Amino acid sequence: MPRDRAPLPESGIYRTILWVMVITVIAGGLLAIAGENIYRDPALVHLGTWVALIGGALYAFFRVLGAREARRRARKHDSDG
């Protein structure tokens, strides 16, 4: 039985953090591609890859935190009402 996905918290700073992480992943990917195809620099490829991986891991971390907070708020709302 599929579960409904928990909504994200309404905080603007939370959404901003998620967008910054998405932009970081995209920038890291572009850096890796540019390092491979344009500059032919292995160090630039490694840097871009690590930036994208770390940004993706942080994005996943903040998504888990947001889902946990949304579930906590939903439980609190259900117990109050």
pTM, full prediction: 0.82
Domain that holds residue 17: 12-75
Q: Is residue 38 part of a domain?
A: yes
- Is residue 4 situated within a structural domain? no
Question: Quick check: is 37 in a domain?
Answer: yes
Residue 54 domain flag: yes
Q: Residue 35 is inside which H or E element, if any?
A: helix 12-37
Give the tens place of pLDDT for each residue, 38-51: 999 999 999 999 99
What would the two tokens of residue 57 be? 């891991």
Q: Residues 51-80: pLDDT tens digits?
A: 999 999 999 999 999 888 888 888 887 887
Q: Are 48 and 34 in contact (CB under 8 A)?
A: yes
State how far the Cα of 68 lies from the Cα of 21, in Å rounded to an integer: 19
Tokens of 63: 């998504």
- For residue 79, the SS3 value is helix
Residue whose structure tokens are 């109050």: 80
Q: How many domains does the chain have?
A: 1
